[in-house]
Amino acid sequence: MRKNMYFSKHNMLFAALFFSLLAGMIFLPGKADAQILREIQITGGYSQDMGMEADKLLKRIKGPAAGAVIHLNLTDYLSVSLEGSYADLTIDQDDPVEQWNWPFWQRFYRNYVRNLVNSDPNYSVVLTPMQNMYMIPVVVAVNGFLPVNDWISPFISLGGGMVFYERNLRLNEAWTKYFPEIDNYFNYEYDNHAGSKKGQAWLARIAVGAEFHIWESFGLSTDLAYTHYFLQQHDTFFPLRSDLSVRAGIVFYY
């Protein structure tokens, strides 16, 4: 698949953020007051829509995500965090090709396929649309920790930020041509790509979870996060209004 230059730049932004967090894991403990850097998390999880754009025949949006979070201490029980993550979501939508407003399909190719199949019974085709969306959320949050004991620390997190996205549509065409003179079928298929839709949206997030302190410098975490998206007025292609994420991760304490 041809890479889109717009989103490649944001992939580079996420990579820079991720490796900055890793560099912080290595260099900050020796160069900063131990009370400043609290912890760094590496997370993975799964997201699913809670609210979608109305009147677009959307059925489901879901997929995996991974990211990194750095926490800086405000007090013993409060931290401020910076999170960068990457999500690869599949979009289930009725009649997505028509909903996409794809000029090549609407003005030419739809009629070409229909006319070819109707005029020549030796041709047949199965059209399968596939749609996905890449997202890079960047979130700043304030986190409150409520330790139960030395091993378990429940927490609540309130944050906001921005998400960068790229939404893609491809149409898989599986063609069959029958050659009656030799009684043989020839099968071939390929993907026809529509132009990407891209942009950004503001977001607000609340999360609740817990950390489990395994050793002095290492632990595990899990949380449930609800995110609401605030769209720009001209943006009609970002399909999410809200989503719910379940995440788990490893924690490095400082």
- Can you give the CATH number for the domain in which 173 is found? 2.40.160.20
Count of domains observed in the chain: 1
Residue 46: other Cβ atoms inside 10 A:
14
Long-range contacts (CB closer than 8 Å, 24 or more residues apart) made by 67-70: 67/18, 67/42, 67/43, 67/137, 68/17, 68/18, 68/21, 68/22, 68/40, 68/41, 68/42, 68/43, 69/21, 69/40, 69/41, 69/43, 69/249, 70/21, 70/24, 70/37, 70/39, 70/40, 70/41
Is it the case that residue 244 has pLDDT exceeding 90? yes
User: Given this model, what pLDDT does residue 10 score?
Assistant: 53
User: Given this model, what pLDDT does residue 9 score?
Assistant: 52
Integer Cα distance of 151 and 173 in angstroms: 55
Integer Cα distance of 44 and 211 in angstroms: 15
Q: What is the pLDDT of residues 172-188, one digit of tens each?
A: 989 999 898 898 999 99
232: containing domain: 5-253
User: Given this model, what pLDDT does residue 166 score?
Assistant: 95
Averaged pLDDT for residues 92-104: 87
Cα dist from 41 to 45, 46, 87, 98, 205, whole Å: 13, 16, 17, 42, 17
The reply to whether the predicted model has a pTM over 0.85 is: no
Which residue reads 């979070």 in tokens? 69
Handedness of CA 201, 204, 209, 214 (dihedral sign): positive
Integer Cα distance of 226 and 10 in angstroms: 23
Q: What is the pLDDT of residues 195-243, one digit of tens each?
A: 889 999 999 999 999 999 999 899 999 999 999 999 877 777 899 999 9
Q: What is the pLDDT of residues 132-143, one digit of tens each?
A: 999 999 999 999
